[in-house]
């Protein structure tokens, strides 16, 4: 008897289960079973399959069997997703409360579930419609903060503020650790370790800080492992992987013409010392001797660019005219037409790059040094957190895990009112190892046959958050083992696609069946539900990135001509891929709305406000003063700015030089006079030294609000709010932290016909038409880390960067080998990123890639690691059939750019009136508030600049 069969019946839900199961013959039963609160299961939900609806139904079904809503915990990854689920639950309850049963059959189950929940709500006095906060639907970060906060003693979490960008905190801890090398009282082991690492970095702290900072941002992945590093265990795990890779490569090469090349090299070893390694062909068993031979053979067969050698000559040890030379060249020439030649090349590259079977001594020594340094660094990080009363999300998560206890203590931290009986996790494929551990501890004391349940919803092909430690293998292994902690899992799969047109679904089925053909986890085709027209349209571009941008414009115009009401999105891998597209859209008059596309500091109105803030903060910052003079609210011309900048004077002083100002244009003189009056008035104010107030006052008095629209005003308010958060007693405490905080903010999206965003931001969204340009572009290269790490068959393996310039050294081989495994994970994710992108389309999906024009003898160059390279098995034929395009060149302007600005006669009317209290740091003062504050400070009622507003 299974755990499910032993649980009591729930007759009130059975009719709903039956109705859902009967709704469609493909996955109706899976949909019904997945919302049964008696079942613990993993639901495989591909793109467009309606997983959010399943989560909603499951939540409602669980509410019909619990005593308190708090017994149910639903975890998501984003606040937006949590808000959407909460809104859908409350909407379902409101719909049920209205008492109007839907006519459509597919809408009835939701209504009926809502009615059942309301019955239990009334019976137990929950009052959920008025108290939706009792529904525990939250992000991982929010739940960790809640958990750690509820148990401050066990978690060790005090009252520190959680910071989103802890880079400066990391930097402080890193500099404290590295700087201690100059101290006389540090332990000898730390001194030796620091000296070794500083030697590796050539004593450049600025090189090490970002490398250690990157490690701290991912410390949940290595901190627990590196403190108990097992060098012999790592050596064994690496040797097993090397043997596995070597055996796979030998299998590919076995029986190929390349085995004859080994015979030729064996004969050549007698006449050429460079082939001495080939004199004896070792046995098939993988040992260091056979490994050296295989690497030597691969090094011969491949060029320096890792392509298969086409011929040999005297430089390679084969003199012209010799029989062995003729035999080898004939063999290599014959490989050109071998259908398996690419497989041979891949196998040879694998062999060429394998590390030694033994863990290198230099790597082991550096591992010990890193272990020592990181132990002290983590301690310093804790001290820095305590000293600054701050904490980062990773620390909150680790302390939440700690709060749940260890061993027999697990679960004791949860008080009765916090007990969870039904756990639901959305997008489970994106969980990190620490999040996975947290979930396991939550259920550690559950029983397989008790009434508690887990529900994990996910799609392994939509795991695209490797940069935040998402580990899709955790999801895959859980599904394949059908176990999570003490709970046995049922595995259910959704197959109906409710989102996309049949043409899109069929193309995705065909393409990703090829892309994921070698995946350990099978790709299962989806079944289209809709009957609308549409499909995937391939647009190879042979006219460069500017031609690609123009094609995007053409596609949008054609789409809007067919249906002006449709939704359109441009999805890119990285924001830099929009360089030519956004200007082309602007020139074509197509309004766009960017989602986290434009850094807020690059917005013209915001950059002008930042220049004003910098100028007020530092009088000698000439660049910021000049930028402020050029702003729309001051509006000096380039010529006038050049005159003011001459002589290297402090700009504020130059503005008060009457002789200098007299040389400006008449327009410039008026503008400087207006600026001086405002600045003098603010400087005389008792609050003039308060940076936030002074900056706001100057911006308002100079007419800044008249230069922005409502969306830009929101961005300006954000800047002032962030500034207020970084000031104390009116002064900017840490300028670096303030400007870094701005770097991490994006301009508010404006209303637009076309949505523009990265594929990551499009996750979970859908549009009638989706355009994916830049398929042949790659992401930004990753910085070389201090060490690579990876889990090899359950063993934590670490490969340190020893800074060795000899790429053939054992230490370099190991570092690059583990690095390639890490990079393979990244490349696998690129394929999943393509899947997420193309599955956003409801009707039409357009795939664009700029490629060099080709001819029959010159293959298309596909960038390695690009989306195009992943989709090439499906797109290759389409691209070779493309018509040649005409190159397009961009016009380059050498004119001084013009700038919109207020007229010189523009004034701000600051009317007399009753006193209004000073504006708070959260709000930009109105003109009336500013006027009254200034009058109150000076004790008079005269307008500060004597202006009247003009249109």
Q: Report residue 834: phi and psi, to 5°.
A: -60, -40
Whether 642 contacts 636, CB under 8 Å: no
Q: Whole-angstrom Cα distance, residue 834 to residue 524?
A: 16
Q: How many helices (H) and strands (E) does the chain have?
A: 36, 22
- Signed CA dihedral, 939, 943, 944, 946: sign only: negative
- Following DSSP, what letter does each residue of 717-729 receive, concatenated? HHHHHHHHHTEET
Residue 947 Rama label (left phi>0; alpha psi -120 to 50; beta): beta
Helical axes 205-216 vs 361-388, angle rounded to 10°: 80
Task: Report whether 6 belongs to an annotated binding site.
Answer: no
- Signed CA dihedral, 549, 551, 555, 556: sign only: positive
Q: Whole-angstrom Cα distance, residue 170 to residue 177?
A: 11
User: Reduced to 3 states, what is the DSSP secondary structure of residue 767?
Assistant: strand
Task: Report whether 46 belongs to an annotated binding site.
Answer: yes
Order of strands across the sheet that contains 767-772: 535-541, 841-850, 767-772, 568-572, 754-758, 592-595
Cβ neighbours for 138, distance < 8 A, ≥ 6 positions apart: 73, 74, 75, 76, 82, 146
Residue whose tokens read 């055996």: 247
Q: Report residue 422: phi and psi, to 5°.
A: -135, 115
Whether 700 contacts 927, CB under 8 Å: yes
Tokens of 905: 């006669």
Task: Report whether 51 belongs to an annotated binding site.
Answer: yes
Whether 247 contacts 286, CB under 8 Å: yes
The Cβ of residue 263 has, within 10 Å, a number of other Cβ atoms equal to 13
Q: Report residue 599: phi and psi, to 5°.
A: -55, 135
DSSP letter for 68, please: S
Whether 591 contacts 752, CB under 8 Å: yes
Task: Report whether 49 belongs to an annotated binding site.
Answer: yes
Q: Which residues of 167-182 are buried (b: 16+ CB within 10 A; e: fewer)?
A: bbbbbbbbebbbebbe
User: Reduced to 3 states, what is the DSSP secondary structure of residue 286?
Assistant: coil
Tokens of 266: 């064996």
Whether 845 contacts 539, CB under 8 Å: no
On the CB side of 783, CA atoms within 13 Å amount to 12
Query: Long-range contacts of range 892-899, CB-CB < 8 Å, 24 or more positions apart?
Result: 896/638, 899/630, 899/632, 899/635
User: Reduced to 3 states, what is the DSSP secondary structure of residue 593?
Assistant: strand
Residue whose tokens read 């207006």: 674
Q: Whole-angstrom Cα distance, residue 56 to residue 89?
A: 6
Cβ neighbours for 17, distance < 8 A, ≥ 6 positions apart: 32, 33, 35, 36
Gap between the terminal Cα atoms of the chain: 82
User: Reduced to 3 states, what is the DSSP secondary structure of residue 755?
Assistant: strand
Tokens of 287: 């040992």
**DSSP β-bridge partners for residue 72:** 422
Whether 540 contacts 533, CB under 8 Å: no
Rg of the chain over Cα atoms, rounded to whole angstroms, equals: 33
Binding-site residues for ATP, in ranges, read 45-52
Binding-site residues, in ranges, read 45-52
């Amino acid at each position: 008897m299974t755990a499910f069969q032993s649980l009591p019946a729930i007759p009130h839900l059975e009719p709903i289960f039956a109705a859902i199961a009967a709704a469609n013959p493909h996955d109706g039963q899976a949909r019904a079973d997945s919302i049964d609160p008696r079942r613990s299961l993993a639901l495989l939900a591909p793109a467009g399959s309606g997983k959010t609806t399943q989560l909603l139904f499951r939540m409602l079904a669980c509410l019909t069997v619990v005593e308190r809503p708090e017994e149910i915990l639903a975890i998501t990854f984003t606040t937006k997703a949590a808000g959407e689920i909460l809104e859908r639950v409350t909407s379902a309850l409101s719909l049920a409360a209205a008492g109007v049963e839907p006519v459509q059959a597919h809408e009835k189950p939701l209504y009926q579930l809502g009615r059942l929940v309301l019955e239990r709500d009334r019976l137990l006095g929950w009052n959920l419609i008025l108290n939706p906060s009792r529904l525990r639907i939250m992000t991982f970060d929010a739940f960790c903060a809640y958990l750690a906060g509820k148990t401050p003693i066990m978690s060790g979490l005090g009252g520190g503020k959680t910071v989103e960008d802890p880079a400066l905190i990391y930097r402080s801890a890193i500099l404290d650790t590295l700087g201690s090398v100059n101290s006389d009282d540090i332990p000898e082991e730390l001194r030796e370790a620091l000296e070794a690492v500083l030697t590796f970095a050539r004593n450049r702290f600025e090189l090490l800080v970002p490398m250690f900072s990157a490690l701290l941002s991912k410390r949940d992945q290595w901190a627990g492992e590196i403190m108990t590093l097992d060098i012999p265990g790592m050596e064994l795990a690496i040797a097993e992987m090397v043997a596995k890779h070597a055996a796979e490569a030998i299998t590919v090469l076995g029986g190929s013409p390349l085995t004859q090349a080994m015979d030729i090299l064996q004969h050549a070893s007698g006449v050429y010392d460079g082939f001495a390694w080939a004199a004896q062909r070792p046995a098939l068993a993988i040992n260091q001797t056979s490994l050296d031979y295989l690497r030597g053979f691969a090094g011969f067969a491949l060029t320096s660019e890792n392509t298969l050698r086409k011929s040999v000559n005297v430089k390679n040890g084969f003199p012209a005219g010799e029989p062995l030379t003729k035999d080898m060249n004939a063999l290599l020439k014959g490989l050109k037409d071998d259908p398996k030649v690419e497989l041979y090349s891949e196998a040879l590259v694998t062999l060429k790059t394998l590390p030694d079977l033994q863990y290198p001594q230099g790597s082991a020594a550096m591992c010990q040094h890193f272990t020592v340094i990181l132990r002290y660094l983590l301690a310093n990080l804790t001290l820095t957190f305590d000293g600054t009363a701050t904490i980062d999300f990773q620390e909150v998560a680790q302390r939440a895990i700690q709060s749940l206890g260890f061993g027999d203590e697990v679960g004791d931290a949860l008080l009765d009112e916090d007990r969870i009986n039904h756990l639901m996790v959305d997008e489970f494929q994106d969980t990190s190892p620490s999040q996975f551990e947290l979930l396991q501890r939550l259920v550690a004391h559950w029983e397989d046959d008790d009434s508690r349940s887990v529900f994990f919803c996910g799609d392994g092909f939509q795991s695209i958050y490797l940069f935040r430690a998402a580990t899709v293998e955790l999801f895959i292994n859980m599904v394949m083992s059908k176990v999570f902690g003490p709970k046995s899992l049922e595995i259910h799969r959704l197959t109906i696609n409710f989102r996309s047109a049949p043409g899109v679904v069929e193309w995705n089925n065909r393409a990703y069946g090829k892309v994921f053909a070698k995946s350990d986890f099978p790709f299962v085709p989806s079944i289209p539900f809709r009957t609308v027209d549409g499909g995937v349209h391939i647009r190879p571009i042979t006219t460069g990135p500017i031609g690609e941008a123009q094609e995007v414009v053409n596609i949008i115009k054609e789409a809007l001509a067919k249906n002006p009401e449709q939704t359109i999105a441009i999805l890119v891998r990285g924001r830099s891929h929009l360089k030519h597209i956004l200007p082309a859209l602007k020139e074509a008059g197509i309004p766009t709305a960017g989602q986290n596309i434009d850094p807020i500091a690059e917005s013209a109105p915001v950059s002008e406000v930042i220049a004003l803030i910098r100028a007020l903060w530092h009088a000698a910052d000439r660049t910021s003063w000049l930028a402020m003079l050029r702003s729309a609210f001051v509006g000096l011309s380039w010529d006038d700015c050049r005159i003011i900048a001459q002589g290297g004077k402090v700009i504020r002083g130059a503005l008060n030089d009457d002789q200098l100002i007299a040389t400006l244009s008449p327009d410039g003189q008026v503008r400087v006079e207006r600026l001086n009056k405002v600045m003098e008035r603010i400087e005389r104010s008792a609050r003039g030294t308060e940076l936030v107030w002074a900056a706001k006052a100057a911006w308002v008095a100079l007419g800044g609000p008249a230069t922005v629209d409502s969306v830009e005003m929101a961005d300006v308010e954000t800047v002032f709010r962030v500034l207020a958060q970084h000031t104390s007693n009116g002064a900017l405490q840490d300028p670096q932290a303030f400007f870094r905080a701005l770097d991490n903010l994006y301009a508010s999206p404006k209303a637009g016909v076309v949505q523009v965003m990265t594929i990551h931001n499009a996750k979970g969204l859908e549009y009638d038409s989706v355009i994916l340009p830049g398929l042949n572009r790659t992401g930004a290269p990753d910085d070389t880390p201090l060490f690579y790490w990876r889990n090899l068959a359950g063993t934590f393996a670490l490969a340190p960067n020893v800074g060795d310039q000899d790429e053939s050294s054992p230490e370099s081989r190991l570092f690059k080998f583990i690095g390639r495994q890490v990079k393979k994970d990244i490349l696998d994710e690129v394929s999943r990123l393509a899947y997420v992108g193309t599955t956003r389309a409801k009707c039409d999906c357009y795939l664009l890639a700029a490629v060099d024009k080709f001819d029959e003898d010159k293959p298309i160059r596909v960038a390695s690691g690009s989306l195009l390279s992943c989709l090439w098995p499906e797109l290759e034929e389409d691209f070779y059939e493309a018509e040649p395009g005409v190159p397009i060149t961009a016009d380059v302007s050498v004119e001084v750019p013009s700038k919109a600005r207020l007229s010189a006669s523009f004034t701000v009317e600051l009317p007399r009136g009753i006193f209004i209290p000073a504006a708070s740091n959260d709000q930009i003062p109105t003109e009336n508030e500013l006027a009254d504050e200034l009058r109150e400070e000076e004790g008079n009622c005269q307008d500060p600049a004597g202006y009247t507003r003009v249109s």
